[in-house]
């Protein structure tokens, strides 16, 4: 089994450039000065991924007030992302990582065992990246329906310090 580097809390978040549903490539560096909620998810329009995306959609206004930007990343194509975004009225960009290069950079490209069949895919993981580009927190086990609330609570708590 191949292991990939996993950035840790306090590390500089690896920069990347990916095509987005906003019609242009997005880089992490363009969001310097803001908190970035970079969430990796396995597949467009599956039950867990839909619940997570809709949770971020429903809390995007509050996250924006907390000066945070939400970016969703999966290995699905831009066409798949656009359909997913339109179907669920998502209000943040989805980024297409079809080669899984960014998933590998962030250590979320994992071997999975699905009913005895081994496959590679994205492990649902969220990185909270601070305005300085450093990883503030990594969320690995998330409740998809409440994940955005958890992230928002952490952001708000950090702003009160």
CA 143 to CA 69: how far, in whole Å?
A: 20
Count of beta carbons in the 10 Å neighbourhood of residue 48: 14
**Structure-token match 């945070």, residue found:** 68
CA 121 to CA 90: how far, in whole Å?
A: 23
- Look up 54 and say whether it is catalytic: no
Read off the tokens for 69: 């930007």
**Structure-token match 């955005």, residue found:** 148
Read off the tokens for 89: 């009225």
Out of 18, 37, 49, 152, which one is annotated catalytic?
Answer: 49
12 DSSP β-pair partners: 134
CA 154 to CA 141: how far, in whole Å?
A: 15
Closest CA to 154 of 133, 137, 135: 137
Give the active site residues: 49
């Amino acid at each position: 089994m191949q292991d990939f580097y996993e950035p840790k809390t306090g590390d500089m978040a690896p920069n990347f450039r990916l095509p987005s549903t906003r019609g242009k490539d997005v880089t992490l560096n363009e969001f310097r000065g803001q908190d970035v909620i970079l969430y990796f998810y396995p597949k467009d329009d599956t039950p867990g991924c839909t619940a997570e995306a809709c949770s971020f959609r429903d809390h995007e206004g509050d996250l924006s007030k907390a000066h945070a930007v939400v970016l969703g990343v999966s290995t699905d194509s831009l066409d798949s992302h656009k359909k997913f975004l339109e179907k669920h009225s998502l209000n943040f960009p989805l980024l297409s990582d079809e080669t899984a290069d960014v998933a590998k950079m962030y250590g979320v490209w994992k071997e999975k065992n699905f009913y005895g069949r081994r496959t590679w895919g994205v492990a649902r993981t969220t990185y909270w990246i601070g305005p300085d580009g450093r990883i503030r927190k990594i969320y690995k086990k998330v409740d998809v329906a409440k994940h955005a609330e958890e992230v928002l609570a952490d952001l708000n708590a950090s702003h009160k310090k």
